[in-house]
């Protein structure tokens, strides 16, 4: 087993945020507040919020999605554990796959590593298939290279049938 530790080093990570239960805007805002409250993190950039159709399981309310760029001294697994604890604190409970959720926080990228174990895969294996991830990510990191695909975020395309973004909402996070 490979353990990725930061040893106090500052790491760059991109996080996807999503919510479709309760006050979707407040849930995203609360998640960012919790990320920022951790002394090992700083938020560098936050995308606009996009309202999106559900992905996977369709019989549920629309989502609000956004992306955040953070700097962290947490190692990859430590960051994953932090995000899972934030989800739980905000009220996420496990349900059906791709089902409704108060908050969803996914690590999209962590530095430029390619890593997978039983708990996490980075880059997130679905980044290039989901417009609700790519569009907010493209807003804050169009020139970032997907380390597995060796393509800039701005150059990754989504086929028409997989588009779920309805539009950008006017309310701004933080």
Are 66 and 50 within 8 A, CB to CB? yes
Copy the structure tokens of residue 117: 């174990």
Rounded distance, CA 34 to CA 30, Å? 6
162: helix, strand or coil? helix
Cis? peptide before 90, omega within 30° of 0: no
> Catalytic positions, please?
92, 101, 104, 106
Copy the structure tokens of residue 8: 């106090």
Rounded distance, CA 5 to CA 11, Å? 10
Q: Please state at what angle helix 24-37 crosses helix 76-90, rounded to 10 degrees.
A: 140
């Amino acid at each position: 087993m490979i353990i990725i530790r930061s040893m106090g080093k500052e790491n760059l990570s991109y996080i996807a945020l999503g919510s479709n239960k309760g006050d979707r805007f407040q849930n995203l805002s609360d998640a960012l507040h919790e990320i920022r409250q951790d002394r090992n993190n700083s938020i560098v950039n936050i995308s606009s919020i996009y309202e999106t159709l559900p992905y996977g399981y369709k019989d549920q309310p629309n989502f609000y999605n956004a992306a955040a760029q953070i700097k962290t001294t947490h190692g990859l697994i430590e960051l994953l554990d932090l995000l899972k604890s934030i989800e739980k604190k905000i009220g996420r409970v496990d349900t059906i796959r791709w089902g409704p959720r108060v908050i969803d926080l996914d690590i999209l990228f962590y530095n430029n590593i390619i890593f997978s174990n039983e708990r996490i895969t980075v880059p997130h294996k679905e980044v290039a298939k989901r417009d609700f991830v790519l569009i907010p990510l493209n807003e804050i990191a169009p020139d970032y290279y997907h380390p597995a695909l060796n393509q800039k975020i701005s150059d990754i395309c989504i086929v028409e049938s997989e588009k779920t973004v309805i539009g950008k909402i006017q309310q701004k996070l933080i």
